[in-house]
Amino acid sequence: MVTKAKAAPKGKPAGKAPTHPTPTKTKAPLPDAMIADALNKSFGNVAHAARSLGMTRTGLSDRIAATPELKQITHDARQSIVDAAENALFSCVTSKQPWAVCFALKTLGKDRGYVERQEISGNEGAPLFDPFVQAIAKIYGDSEKRTNKTG
Contacts 24+ apart (CB under 8 A), 17-21: 20/51, 20/52, 21/51, 21/52, 21/54
Confidence (pLDDT) at 17: 55
Q: What angle do CA 102, 126, 118 make, to 5 degrees?
A: 20
Confidence (pLDDT) at 25: 57
Confidence (pLDDT) at 92: 97
Confidence (pLDDT) at 7: 55
Helix residue ranges, H only, the chain:
32-41, 46-53, 57-66, 68-94, 98-108, 131-140, 143-148
Alpha-carbon distance of 12 to 35, in angstroms, equals: 31
Name the pTM for this structure: 0.55
Alpha-carbon distance of 143 to 136, in angstroms, equals: 11
Low-confidence residues of the chain: pLDDT under 70: 1-27, 118-119, 128-129, 142-151
